[in-house]
Amino acid sequence: MTTFTKLDDHETPLISVHPSRRISKINPNIYAGFTEHMGRCIYGGIYDPGNPLSDEKGFRKDVLEALKGLNIPVVRYPGGNFCATYHWLDGIGPKNQRPARPELAWLGTETNQFGTDEFMQWCEALGTEPYLCFNFGTGTLDEALGWVEYCNGTGNTYYANLRRKNGREEPYNVKYWALGNECWGPWQVEQMTKEAYAHKAIQWAKALKLLDPTLILILCGQDGTASWDYYTLNQCLVPAHSALSTSSVPLIDMHSIHLYTSSSSHLLNVTAPLAAERAIEITSALIDLARVVNKVPPEQLRPTICFDEWNVWDPIRAEGSLGAEENYTLSDALAVAVWLNVFVRKSKDVSMACIAQTVNVISPLMTTPEGITKQTTWWPLWLFSRYMRGWTVASHVSCGTYEGETSPKWIRSAKDTPWLDVSATVGDDGFVNVAVVNIHDSRDLESHVEGAQGEVAVFTVTAGDLSVTNLNGKEEVAIQESTWTGSGQYVFPRHSLTLLRWKAE
């Protein structure tokens, strides 16, 4: 949690950090990933059989090695829009018997050479947990129940035995399951009204929890500010043992929201993620409202927010049907840093956030047949996933503000837009970590940092030009390491991310 006081631009900024005032535990799942059968994310990204850089299973070793550096706890699969026509049975068993199908989300052909077992094996190689999304378009409840049984079944039952026949004796124990993806969207196969979705979601949830009460089921929300979110939460967050639920456990554990931001104007680009912060606050209030209206007992676990698609993405410059391969700039990297600050600040409510996507498709990591490129957005993600863990702690920022236009426009009346965007944590190792994004495009900000002590490790992400990228063999943006004494003032460079790290008393 970071509070804010507005100063005139000529006044000296102050960042005050209070590591003893722990606000909320940060769920490591805010650094989750997302892989979809879209563009080159799967084929040519994480899975590239025949390439000398791939292992015997076809997994790109260089991709695995790079992603291990992010310590990714969970990866979502197989979509995204793709899952609305995906039938998991097409992607298991002997590969020469798997059917190729027309793929309607991104208008291609799905060969099904990479499916459930390959994804689970890839997750094990990466050291991450799987998160699967049900087909709420052309799929059936029987098909969904079969998928859970295939992944998690331990008994002498059909789909559990089919998994064993396919070479996997032990269950995969998949915990996280989404009740569809963006079912509200006109781009969806079998788009639904909120009324139709809520009815279907609660019926599926009842059956799924009967099969496996330990599942964590994730409701399909919109962007957290829509009537869809209000209605589906109101209809689906019901007490256990209610008229709609005979289950001894809650049917819904998390509520999913999605948002992408972008702008060709730097200041609009880096303030746009603040829309996500307000959306989280609104969604949290809608969860509480639904629990109040439906008389959910306080001892029933409160659902959290799953922000399972987020990133900087301009679908015009990186069209989805053409693979959505963004060329990220320094400005985009700073926008990603603000996104990550939002998730740290809102750790009380957000228990998972999945950057979309993991490789090639609107991704910080790109592949060629010969190797990988770490885009500008890789470095804030690496810094946060490495250091911004543990507990969110109280911090306060006093500085000037950007007063111009925002995108979306409603941010201007809903959120402050300070020049210094800040989050602060204290880890289990006793180190304080403060992430500071100076969004100003032309001014260094010499600031007091109250609470810093001893030798402070400094990690800086910046460059001379906001438009630079890390493509074409040039790594223009990376991490610069230095130290600071912790006394006096610290100068946060214009258009930069700075992470300050010191040992707490």
Residues classed as catalytic: 182, 309
Residue 480 CA to residue 315 CA, distance in Å, equals: 31
DSSP state of 156: S
Residue 355 CA to residue 276 CA, distance in Å, equals: 13
CB atoms within 10 A of CB 452: 21
Contact by Cβ (8 Å): 422, 399: no
Residue 84 CA to residue 65 CA, distance in Å, equals: 31
3-state secondary structure of 207: helix
Contact by Cβ (8 Å): 26, 388: yes
Contact by Cβ (8 Å): 172, 193: no
Which residues partner with 354 through β-bridges? 32
**What are 201's two structure tokens?**
């979601």
Residue 23 CA to residue 477 CA, distance in Å, equals: 33
Residue 386 CA to residue 46 CA, distance in Å, equals: 22
Residue 139 CA to residue 88 CA, distance in Å, equals: 10
Half-sphere exposure of 454 (CA within 13 A, CB side): 8
Task: Write down the residue that tokens 């993405």 correspond to.
Answer: 313
Residue 274 CA to residue 430 CA, distance in Å, equals: 29
Contact by Cβ (8 Å): 386, 340: no
**What are 61's two structure tokens?**
């070793």
Residue 446 CA to residue 181 CA, distance in Å, equals: 45
CB atoms within 10 A of CB 399: 25
Give first-to-last CA distance, the chain, whole Å: 21
